[in-house]
C-alpha cells in the first residue's frame, strides 16, 4: 500500500512540475533540429578507423550519418548525457531565473563545482557549470531549478528523446553516472547534439574556453572547458567530454567550416582526441554542402478536375544536404496531378533529390493558392 501511495505521489509531482514549466515557457516556440531518422541515407565507412566501441560522424543540418562504426548499438554515455540536460533546460527553463541550491545537489559523486547549500545561481550559470566543468552537482541543481525535482526533469529528458524520434535512448539521471536504464547510441547522441546546437545559448556555452561566475548569492567560480580540441582544431565549436569506468572515455565534438557543421561522437574510446580530429578531417575533405532547394522557389503543379489547370507550389524553407564531393545530384519535380479542390497550404507535390541515381530525399511542396473543383 505504501509503495502504491509513493508511486502516485511521484506521478503527481511530475504532473505538477509540468504545469509549472508551462507558465515559464508559455508563448515560446522552441527551436529544434529535424527528427532523427533511424535509417540514414548515407553511412559510408570512408577512410577512418577509430579505437571506439561506437563512432559516428553526423551532418548537423541535414541529419545525415556520414560515417559509422556500431552507430546503432546502445551504450552508456557518461557525462555526454549533459548535452540533453542543458538542451532541456534551455528549452523548458528560464535562463535568468535564480534558484537556491537544494540539499540533493550536495555531495554528488564524481566531477563537481562544489555547490553549497543556500547558494543562489541563475539557470544560465548552472548550465555553464554543467557544460564547462561537467559538474554533477550542477546537473542536480539545474534539474530542480527547471522542473522542481530530479525525477520530473528526467521525465522531460525522456519525453524530448521521444519527440526527437529516438528509439534507443533512455535517461535515468541528468548527469550521466552509471545507472540501470541509462544509455544511448552514437547516432542518437549525435542527433541530440544537433537538437541542442539549434537552441539559443547552447553553442555559446560549449564554445567558451573559460568563464568566471561572480553573480550575487554565491561564491565566485572559475570554470575551464575540458575540451582540449577547442584550443587546437580549426572551426571547433565544442561540445562535451565524459568518463566513467563503465562507459569509458566518451566524447562529442562539433566543428563548422563554411556552410558545413559536423558532429563527431565516440563512445568508449581510449584515443578519442585523435579519432575526433581524424573523423572531422575526413568529413570536411570528403563531403560538401549542397543547397538542393531554396526557399521561395516555385513550381507549377497540374490540378485535375479544377477550375484552373495548375497551382503554384513551394517548400517551407531552404534545404541543404551534405554529400560526397564527387557525387552527382539531380532534382526532379513530381509530375503527378493534384486533385481539386486544393486549399492554400495543401501538400500537392514533391521535389525528389537523387544522389548518383539513388533517391535520398523528398521535399514536400505546398500550394500557394486555392483551386476550386469544377
Active site residue 318: no
Return phi, psi of residue 330, to 5°.
-125, 145
Annotated active-site residue in 72, 82, 240, 361: 82
Annotated active-site residue in 40, 111, 134, 198: 134
Are the CB atoms for 94 and 147 separated by under 8 Å?
no
| Sheet containing 64-69: order of strands | 64-69, 54-59, 260-267, 248-257, 236-244
Question: Which cell goes with 210?
Answer: 573559460
Question: Which cell goes with 119?
Answer: 547558494
Q: Within 10 Å of residue 341's Cβ, how many Cβ atoms?
A: 15
Burial 193-227 (b: 16+ CB within 10 A, else e): bbbbbbbebbbebbbbeebebeeeebeebebebbb
Return phi, psi of residue 109, to 5°.
-70, 160
Separation between Cα atoms, residue 129 and residue 112, nearest integer Å: 9
Question: Which cell goes with 137?
Answer: 552537482
Active site residue 82: yes
Query: For residue 195, is it left (φ>0), alpha (ψ between -120 and 50) or beta?
Result: alpha
List of residues 6+ apart from 51 with CB closer than 8 A: 269, 270, 271, 272, 275
Active site residue 334: no
| Catalytic residue positions, numbered | 79, 82, 134
Amino acid at each position: 500500500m505504501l509503495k502504491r501511495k509513493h508511486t502516485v505521489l511521484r506521478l503527481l509531482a511530475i504532473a505538477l512540475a509540468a504545469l509549472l514549466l508551462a507558465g515559464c515557457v508559455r508563448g515560446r516556440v522552441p527551436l529544434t533540429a529535424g527528427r532523427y531518422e533511424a535509417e540514414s541515407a548515407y553511412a559510408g565507412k570512408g577512410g577512418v578507423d577509430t579505437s571506439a566501441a561506437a563512432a559516428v560522424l553526423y551532418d548537423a543540418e541535414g541529419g545525415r550519418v556520414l560515417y559509422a562504426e556500431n552507430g546503432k548499438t546502445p551504450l552508456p554515455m557518461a557525462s555526454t548525457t549533459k548535452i540533453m540536460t542543458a538542451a532541456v533546460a534551455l528549452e523548458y527553463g528560464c535562463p535568468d531565473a535564480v534558484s537556491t541550491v537544494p540539499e540533493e545537489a550536495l555531495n554528488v559523486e564524481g566531477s563537481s563545482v562544489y555547490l553549497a547549500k543556500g547558494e543562489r545561481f541563475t539557470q544560465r550559470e548552472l548550465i555553464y557549470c554543467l557544460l564547462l566543468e561537467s559538474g554533477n552537482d550542477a546537473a542536480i541543481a539545474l534539474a530542480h531549478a527547471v522542473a522542481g525535482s530530479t525525477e520530473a526533469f528526467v521525465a522531460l529528458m525522456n519525453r524530448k528523446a521521444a519527440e526527437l524520434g529516438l528509439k534507443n535512448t533512455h535517461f535515468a539521471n541528468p548527469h550521466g553516472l552509471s545507472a540501470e536504464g541509462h544509455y544511448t547510441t552514437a547516432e542518437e547522441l549525435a542527433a541530440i547534439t544537433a537538437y541542442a546546437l539549434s537552441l539559443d545559448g547552447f553553442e555559446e556555452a560549449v564554445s567558451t574556453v573559460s568563464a568566471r561566475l561572480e553573480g550575487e548569492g554565491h561564491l565566485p567560480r572559475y570554470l575551464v572547458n575540458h575540451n582540449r580540441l577547442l584550443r587546437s582544431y580549426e572551426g571547433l565549436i565544442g561540445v562535451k567530454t565524459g568518463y566513467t569506468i563503465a562507459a569509458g572515455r566518451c566524447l562529442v565534438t562539433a566543428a563548422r567550416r563554411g556552410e558545413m557543421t559536423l558532429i563527431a561522437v565516440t563512445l568508449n574510446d581510449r584515443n578519442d582526441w585523435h579519432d575526433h580530429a581524424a573523423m572531422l578531417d575526413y568529413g570536411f575533405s570528403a563531403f560538401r554542402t549542397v543547397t538542393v532547394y531554396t526557399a521561395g522557389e516555385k513550381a507549377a503543379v497540374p490540378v485535375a478536375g479544377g477550375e484552373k489547370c495548375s497551382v503554384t507550389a513551394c517548400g517551407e524553407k531552404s534545404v541543404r544536404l551534405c554529400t560526397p564531393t564527387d557525387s552527382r545530384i539531380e532534382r526532379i519535380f513530381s509530375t503527378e496531378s493534384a486533385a481539386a479542390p486544393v486549399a492554400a497550404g495543401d501538400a500537392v507535390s514533391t521535389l525528389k533529390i537523387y544522389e548518383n541515381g539513388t533517391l535520398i530525399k523528398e521535399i514536400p511542396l505546398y500550394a500557394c493558392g486555392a483551386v476550386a473543383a469544377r
